[in-house]
Structure 1
């Protein structure tokens, strides 16, 4: 039986592979799938996957990938709670661990955790302030 050793995340193609695998799980998930389905029509998924690949390429690898956007603002008014973030992070970490191992893989999981915590705090603050965003 042939075994393949996991490598670290090194380039945009690695991130694309991770993003594709991760969002396949997200779309099938009972909790997260409906949230995404309500916001991203089927024909728009290639664009979303490209955007997420560019975001993570810039965030993790520090490479200019053409990402422009405000991810916090995109999440501000979604019908999401702590359980959604917990599930998102679990699926994200599971996908990273299934495909990669190394410093960048570990760093990507740390950054995802910090991002989730920041989004949750900003969403809670906006909700407490009558829907006024601090982003």
Structure 2
């Protein structure tokens, strides 16, 4: 397997990851019903977020933490939700890529998960 090296690589694994998320019994409803996302608008933001982290590409603007804190007010996000999110993310990256950038994606996702969970708990 090869590493993540391009915007297309990011798009491919993010698309595969969110297909799993949307179909998942534990967290799918949060994305599909509670957040009620417009996926056509949401996905380009997610691509830019991960492209900025993994490829150093400028252009992401957003309040990731604020969005999730507001979401938590609609539906209490739990450690189980975060555990499932990181498990699906890790599984998807590992199925598709291998290398230093793929490892960095997983490391960063774990940091994001811990930071998000901590801040959400503090906001309650």
Residue 45 of structure 2 aligns with which residue? 51
TM-score w.r.t. structure 1 length?
Answer: 0.85
Matches of 1:40 and 1:102, distance apart in 2: 34
Alpha-carbon shift at residue 86 of structure 1 (Å): 0.2
How well do the aligned residues superpose, as a CA RMSD in angstroms? 0.9
How many residue pairs get matched? 119
Where in structure 2 are the equivalents of 1:21-40 lying within 5 Å? 21-38=16-33, 39-40=35-36
Structure with more relative contact order (C-alpha pairs < 8 Å, separation 6 or more): 2
Which structure features the higher share of helix residues? Answer: 2
Instruction: Answer with 1 or 2: which has the greater Rg.
Output: 1
Alpha-carbon shift at residue 59 of structure 1 (Å): 1.2
Structure 2 gaps, min length 5? none
Structure 1 gaps, min length 5? 1-5, 128-135
* Structure 2 residue 105 is the aligned partner of structure 1 residue 108: yes
TM-score w.r.t. structure 2 length?
Answer: 0.92
